[in-house]
Amino acid sequence: MLIRLFHERDAQAVSNLVRSALLVSCAKDYPPEPLNAFADTQTPACMLERGRTTHFYVAEEDGVAVGCGAVGADGDDPGVCGVYSFYVLPEWQGRGVGRKIMEALEADDAAREARRLTLHASRTALGFYRRMGFGFVGGDDRPDADGLYHMEKLR
């Protein structure tokens, strides 16, 4: 398993894997709409933008992109680092890929220089992020209007 930075040539494959994780895995926890609408925004162009604006990593196995995740600014506070676009292909979930991506993100300078990591967790990924040491912001375990949980990890 290779964890490396995203290249422009990954855009289509990473878009496919994100859409697959959403439409297969998150579909267990969310109604088709707005899940389908959100999945439709996860285009190759969206991945290229993620690659331009964050430190975006890809997990690769035998030349195939099986997972991804990014770290980058969250607002204007340089002490806060956001985690974005965190997905593993359904057939690769539960095999340690997500943990390896998170280790790479936490080793990235953007995360190392921050005092706080933040993310918006899907219900599907909640248990994973808790296992990775994230807790609810302000202890509030209620989802927002989009059904996402606001989580953080203090460093």
Ligand X SMILES: CC(C)(COP(=O)(O)OP(=O)(O)OC[C@H]1O[C@@H](n2cnc3c(N)ncnc32)[C@H](O)[C@@H]1OP(=O)(O)O)[C@@H](O)C(=O)NCCC(=O)NCCS
Q: β-strand 116-121 against 80-88: which pairing, if any?
A: parallel
Closest CA to 65 of 6, 129, 128: 6
Q: Which stretches of the chain bind ligand X, using CB under 6 A?
A: 21, 25-26, 86-88, 93-99, 121-122, 124-125, 127-128, 131
Q: What values do phi and psi take at 84, rounded to 5? A: -135, 160
Minimum distance of ligand X from residue 82's CB (angstroms): 11
Minimum distance of ligand X from residue 52's CB (angstroms): 21
Closer Cβ to ligand X, 57 or 128, answer by number:
128
Tell me the residue nearest to ligand X as measured from the CB: 127
Closer Cβ to ligand X, 11 or 129, answer by number:
129
Minimum distance of ligand X from residue 47's CB (angstroms): 15
Residues in CB range of 115: below 8 A, 6 or more apart: 79, 80, 154, 155
Closer Cβ to ligand X, 21 or 114, answer by number:
21
C-alpha 127/C-alpha 148 separation (Å) is 13
